[in-house]
Amino acid sequence: MLAHAGAARVAHNWALARVKAVLDQRAAERSYGLAEEALTPVVGWSLPALRKAWNAVKGEVAPWWRECSKEAFNTGLDALARGLKNWADSRNGRRAGRRVGFPRFKSKHRCAPSVRFTTGAIRIEADRKHVVLPRLGRLKLHESARKLARRVEAGTARIMSATVRRDGGRWFVAFTVDIDLGVRCPARTDTIVGVDVGIRHLAVLSTGEPVPNPRHLDTAEVRLRALSRAMSRKEGPDRKAGEAASKRWRRAAGRLRRAHARVANLRRDGLHKLTTRLAREHATIVVEDLHVAGMLKNRRLARHIADAGFGELRRQLTYKTVWNGGLLVVADRWYPSSKTCSGCGAVKTKLTLRERTYHCTTCGLTLDRDVNAARNLAALATCVTGQQTAGSGSVAGRGAIPKTHPRGQEAVKRQPGPARLAGKTGTVLPQGRTAT
């Protein structure tokens, strides 16, 4: 498996060096004043073009190519083709979101070994304790694959591909499966729940239920520090001098790597259980569009925010609500859910993080700050529950005014008005303005 992962890395690095050399040469020729017609011809970076170029030179670049499956080299070339496409689309404005950087060379010291199989013999053995993969043959599983095997035998699932990856010192195989889910509906077809995520509690529901934050990273902090100190006392690698690490350093690094992997697995398991319960029970779920990347710039709260996994929670709810026939409503990023009174609708001008209890000076309502925010999120979905039955949408509530205009100008305060749902891919702005 390491050999196949290394083959994918070799193909990726060779193709990236070829593309980068041509781009650098064309940039240098432009600096000399050459016309576009006289520049070095461009090379294609689509997957078929990269695969054709690799097959022409694989005998010289990798004389051992027959020892590995062709899917190993295809894995590296496919990753590079998608990376180059994302980079080009981001530069040309065809890709939304943050700017995508140019692909970088892969190193066996920093990249997780992985290989993806899309063709050939990919199946689960009858004992459900073994899988068969191309060229790797019959591999024993630590866990039983009976759930997937039952679906495959019943004809409700079809294996599309298998990805083998090493994580935390262990090898995992992940199957991409085409499954017939059928028609599903939540257990409570008429309920709306608002989910307010935080640090003190991982989530607070509009029903008043607080979901405790397990703080897995804080719990394992003492052990992680001890393992880090133990590894620092060993003879590590010196790449400048070309000296390899000692065996004791490698064993210490393995223990530290497994400890970090355990924290990540515990966090992932808790988020999956929470999101699955919410998607199966409630018909409509309302969450906030948090700017997690900006929140991580707070040096006092960055570690706790990253440990909670706000972005992962929303990502899981996005597809699980579709699977279970529910609706996910994403409130506008500037909707003041914490500052708004859930009783009378009055909005406070300022509300510090230290104020954990919300006191309304208009109607006298007093309740927990997070419960108040969750109730406001639940009330925000009442205007869209009758327009969609499944999927997800974004709404901007009353008083959702961004600080700056999208074009960089100062924002003009808008008059409050009813919010409408634009659709699954739209973001509804006040006064009916829609941005897709």
- Do the beta carbons of residue 65 and residue 7 sit within 8 Å? yes
Enumerate the active-site residues. Answer: 196, 288, 370
Return the closest-CA partner of residue 334 out of 297, 392, 381, 291.
291
- Do the beta carbons of residue 419 and residue 397 sit within 8 Å? yes
Task: Write out the DSSP string of 103-155.
Answer: P----TTTSPPEEEE-SS--EE-TTSSEEEETTTEEEE-SS--HHHHHHHHHT
β-pair type (327-331, 357-359): unpaired
Structure tokens that stand for 254 in this block: 């393995």
Distance from C-alpha of 274 to C-alpha of 282, rounded to nearest angstrom: 12
Total residue length of the chain:
436
Distance from C-alpha of 197 to C-alpha of 213, rounded to nearest angstrom: 10
Beta bridge partners of 211: 203
β-pair type (434-435, 366-368): unpaired
3-state class (DSSP) for residue 200? coil
Distance from C-alpha of 12 to C-alpha of 106, rounded to nearest angstrom: 8
